[in-house]
Amino acid sequence: MSELVRYDVSDAVATITLDSQHNRNALSRQLVTELFAHLEAAEADDAVRVVLVRAEGRVFCSGADLSEATSEGMEVGARRIVDLQRLIATMSKPVVVRLLGAVRAGGIGIVAAADIAITAEDATFALTEVKLGLAAAIISLTVHHRMNPRAAALTTLGGEVFTGAEAASYGLVTKAVPVEALDDEVAKVCASLATGSPQGLRESKRILNRELVARIDAHGDEMATLSAKLFASDAAREAMTAFLSRKK
């Protein structure tokens, strides 16, 4: 199989690029496995101070791979996404995400787990789970930690699209900038972070994410079980099958 996630290191920044455009960078088993491996490689590399996660194409991440969910269930996959969020939050190096285009459902969990998220103002976000008879269960561990409660209720219950500028006002992302300024802003942030000492970055991040990691550890199993149960329900399977049929 062709590689779905690319890895490159330059100037103390490990750049991890999602490149599974055939399914809108969905969180398939292969993509998640490769993303895990690259994150762990960056963590182990003493030459790396900062990790940047970005994507090719018009979609940063479309969330769960519904074709896999409808055919094979989500028990293992749900727990793997919990583990992915925990890995990002507990790495000793800051994780930055660059957001352009569409960010949906489970992809927003990656955004919320990251330390710093820079988005284009006209990027679009949506917690679409509620439309499919699901709930933003496993990503609530990180998303609801970042977003203010009123914004979390509006976006989680409504499932509607909101912009990068709104994501910044909700607390989901760090900063929204015009699309033409996105790459410069991301480069500036990464260069600044790379000036930190490894010990300083490690201990500062540990302090910052202490409550987030405790939240994941306390509720991760429960949310993974709930997510798998909802994905297996008749209501969700019918909705997901209809959605996949419309995409064909």
Residue among 70, 81, 76 nearest 105 (CA): 81
CA angle 225, 153, 245 (to 5 degrees): 60
Q: Please answer whether residues 33 and 1 qualify as being in contact, where contact means their C-beta atoms are separated by less than 8 angstroms.
A: no
Q: What is the mean pLDDT of residues 103-124?
A: 97
Average per-residue pLDDT for the chain: 95
Position 1 scores a pLDDT of: 72
Which carries the bigger pLDDT value, residue 68 or residue 3? 3
- Tell me the residue type at 48: V
pLDDT digits (tens, 9 = 90+) for 6-57: 999 999 999 999 999 999 999 999 999 999 999 999 999 999 999 999 999 9
Torsion angle of alpha carbons 168, 173, 178, 182, nearest 10°?
A: 170
- Burial class from Cβ neighbours inside 10 Å (0-12, 13-18, 19+) for residue 91 reads buried
At 214, list the tokens: 């405790």
pLDDT digits (tens, 9 = 90+) for 147-185: 999 999 999 999 999 999 999 999 999 999 999 999 999
What domains are defined for the chain? 5-181 (3.90.226.10)
pLDDT digits (tens, 9 = 90+) for 201-248: 999 999 999 999 999 999 999 999 999 999 999 999 899 888 888 765
Position 72 scores a pLDDT of: 65
